[in-house]
Amino acid sequence: MPRARIFKAGVCAAFFTCVAPAFAADDIALGEYLSATCVTCHQKSGKVTGGVPSITGWPAEQFIAVMEAYRKKERENEVMRALASGLSTDDIAALAVYFRTLGPGKK
Ligand code: HEC
């Protein structure tokens, strides 16, 4: 286990600035995979189109908090509520770190 951790940290540091040590390269890969649905509405470029807000480059904690709010039905929007309720906590964290990498200057 410790050996795997060190390996992950090494990969992470080699490719980009990590959001936090707990977020490793495989989380970003999962996030990218899960994002296929999201980017049919939200633009990967961060552009705002047709009332769909930009979700790129957000601090991970903020992204997670918003997704949790949709999941708990504390935030209005049927589509986002339905999508968020189909995601696990890990899925949301992975999406948060992936969309964070799409922030300004990193496109
Ligand atoms: C069918 C189109 C659609 C899809 C697919 C979609 N969203 Fe959304 N999303 C929206 C709209 C529209 C809003 C704005 C809702 C509002 O104004 O209340 C939104 C809002 C959000 C917000 C809050 C943005 C803000 O500025 O408050 C986040 C975060 C978000 N979506 C993440 C995601 C993620 C992650 C996925 C994929 C799992 C996803 N969305 C898939 C349409 C979509």
Ligand 1 pocket residue status of 100, Cβ below 6 Å: no
Q: Which of the listed residues 27, 37, 42 should we mutate to test ligand 1's pocket, taking the one with most ligand atoms within 8 A of CB?
A: 42
In this prediction, residues 50-74 reach a mean pLDDT of 96
Pick the closest to residue 60 from 107, 30, 102 (CA basis): 102
Q: 79 CA to middle of ligand 1, Å?
A: 8
User: What pLDDT, on the 0 to 100 scale, is given for residue 104?
Assistant: 67
Amino acid at 47: K
User: What pLDDT, on the 0 to 100 scale, is given for residue 1?
Assistant: 46
Q: 76 CA to middle of ligand 1, Å?
A: 11
91-107 tens-digit pLDDT: 999 999 999 999 764 44
User: What pLDDT, on the 0 to 100 scale, is given for residue 53?
Assistant: 95
11-52 tens-digit pLDDT: 444 444 444 555 678 899 999 999 999 999 999 999 999 999
Token pair listed for 53: 């807000």
In this prediction, residues 67-76 reach a mean pLDDT of 98
Ligand 1 pocket residue status of 80, Cβ below 6 Å: yes
Ligand 1 pocket residue status of 76, Cβ below 6 Å: yes
User: What pLDDT, on the 0 to 100 scale, is given for residue 23?
Assistant: 60
User: What pLDDT, on the 0 to 100 scale, is given for residue 92?
Assistant: 98
